[in-house]
A = this chain, B = another copy of it.
Amino acid sequence: MNIGFIGLGIMGSPMAANLVRAGHTVVGYDTSAERTDALAVAGGKSAGSVAEAVAQAEVVITMLPDSPQVEEVAFGDDGLLQQGRQGLIHIDMSTVRPETSRRVAQAAAVKGIRALDAPVSGGERGAVDGTLSIMVGGAAADFAAVRPVLAVVGTTIVHVGPAGAGQTVKAANQLVVGGIYGLVAEAIVLLEASGVDPGGGLDVLAGGLAGSRILDLKRHSMVRREFAPGFRIDLHHKDMGIAIAAAREAGVSLPLTGLVAQLVAAARAQGHGSLDHSALLKVIERINQ
């Protein structure tokens, strides 16, 4: 299939390479020429502009930092909606506000372009291994049409609803993840301050109703204060901003999420933006020192 791929960063680059390896024709573009060239080395084709990347594409995948970049690629004069062919399916795999996805989808429909929002979880590791989880919003038929493409980059691929739904599920995921890190951090601080070995205590929690993937994967590293990413605080801070915005757009009040967002913001304000998101523990520690 002819695939345009825009945004060849830490996530996009291995995803595009996996698509090449799977036999697709991938025309890539990134604002960094170096990155675009790297794709060519990996067997893809390099485009000099968004317009060039999308010109022949049946599917365009975007993997960009945030809403402004997605909007520029979608709505720009030389952008996807102006330059893409009728019938093109645009899969935005960036994590952005649900509202952004809905606006892109509406504008795309006017141009005869079909849009899906398909944010992922699983991080760099998942991008390299092609084992991402993908939450897809948009029309069921469009989802079905590109499922084989998504299956190259991910293993868990779920259609969760109409345009924006993928982003909403991603936002829900991130607010729960951020919150559990905060709760585990508070548990550790309480255990340690009470003279209880946190490792043994968390073992008990992990085995009962308090159990979670985060306790399974991160409790030992958290107790040892090892915070190499993984998924960076900076990114989780961005995602909490999206969760807060999504709640606002949906007209709902989420009190815990409101507080969790500020605690993640604190981790960043304290200079831990490049650490793993489990470093939320440092915020709960610091508030006590």
Contacts and interface: CB of A to CB of B under 8 A. Distances in A.
Contacts of A175: 183, 186-187, 190
A60 B283 CA distance: 43
Contacts of A258: 258-259, 261-262
Interface residues of A, number: 84
A23 interface: no
Interface in A186-229: 186-187, 189-191, 193-197, 200-201, 203-205, 207-214, 217
Interface string A240-283: 01011011111111111111111101101110000000000001
B253 A256 contact: no
Interface stretch (A27-35, A69-77, A106-114, A165-173): A165-173
A40 interface: no
A144 to B, nearest CB: 16
- The count of identical subunits is 4
Nearest to A159: B200
A44 B243 CA distance: 45
B269 A253 contact: yes
B169 A196 contact: yes
A99 B255 CA distance: 25
A269 B256 contact: no
A211 B209 contact: no
B172 A257 contact: no
A43 interface: no
Contacts of A269: 251-253, 287-289
23 contacts: A133-B207, A137-B196, A158-B204, A161-B196, A161-B201, A168-B196, A168-B201, A174-B210, A179-B180, A179-B183, A190-B243, A193-B252, A209-B217, A212-B214, A247-B265, A253-B287, A255-B284, A257-B262, A258-B259, A258-B261, A258-B262, A266-B287, A283-B287
Interface of A: 98, 121-122, 133, 135, 137, 156, 158-162, 164-165, 168-169, 171-177, 179-180, 182-184, 186-187, 189-191, 193-197, 200-201, 203-205, 207-214, 217, 241, 243-244, 246-263, 265-266, 268-270, 283-284, 286-289
